[in-house]
Amino acid sequence: MQETHWIETGMPGIKRDPETLLPVIVDEEEAEGLLQGDDPCDAVVVLIARGQLRQAAELVADVRLNEPQNIRMRLLDTDLQRAMGNTEAAIKRLRALLEEFSGTSHEATMHQYLGILYYNAGDLTAARHRFEKALELHTRANALERRTELARRSLQAVERHEHLVR
């Protein structure tokens, strides 16, 4: 796949696959830099993308113990659950987070993550609803372009899959 097809994440060496909507490593050297860097959330993204789930789980647990309100790590914890095959648990946790952060600046991101979970679980109707809500909230908030682009491209992925199902 050509690099121009990847969805930007804002993380060096990490993009989102336009078909799965999941993070993938596109530059191993840059990903290694994230792994060795100061942000444990970046390291968790790299570990999940590499399939090193045990190491990711240990890092998530450490950070959650020391910073229980770290919203990014709480989101990554749901992605880790998905990667471990616990999609229903991930959806349940993310729905609780969405309820907790409803009406805040984090709500759009919660909808986006929940949409990705539904999308990967095959529930295209629920995914579409979440991506539409994420796009609406990101647009209204004048969010970073990469966030609105992810919501837009996520909706396009749903449309491609719906077309295949018909």
Q: For residue range 23-53, list pLDDT tens digits in order.
A: 999 999 999 999 999 999 999 999 999 999 9
Taking a C-beta distance cutoff of 8 angstroms, is the pair 87, 125 a contact? no
Q: For residue range 126-159, list pLDDT tens digits in order.
A: 999 999 999 999 999 999 999 999 999 999 999 9
Using DSSP's 3-state secondary structure scheme, residue 54 falls into helix
Q: Could you give the domains of the chain?
A: 3-165 (1.25.40.10)
Question: Closest Cα to residue 31, out of 15, 17, 20?
Answer: 15
Give the strand pairing for 7-11 and 23-25: unpaired
Tell me which amino acid residue 95 is: R
C-alpha–C-alpha distance, residues 159 and 146, integer Å: 20
H or E stretch covering 1: none
Using DSSP's 3-state secondary structure scheme, residue 52 falls into coil
Q: What percent of the chain has pLDDT over 70?
A: 96
pLDDT at position 3, please?
Answer: 47
DSSP 3-35: GGGSEEEEETTEEE-TTT--EEES-HHHHHHHH
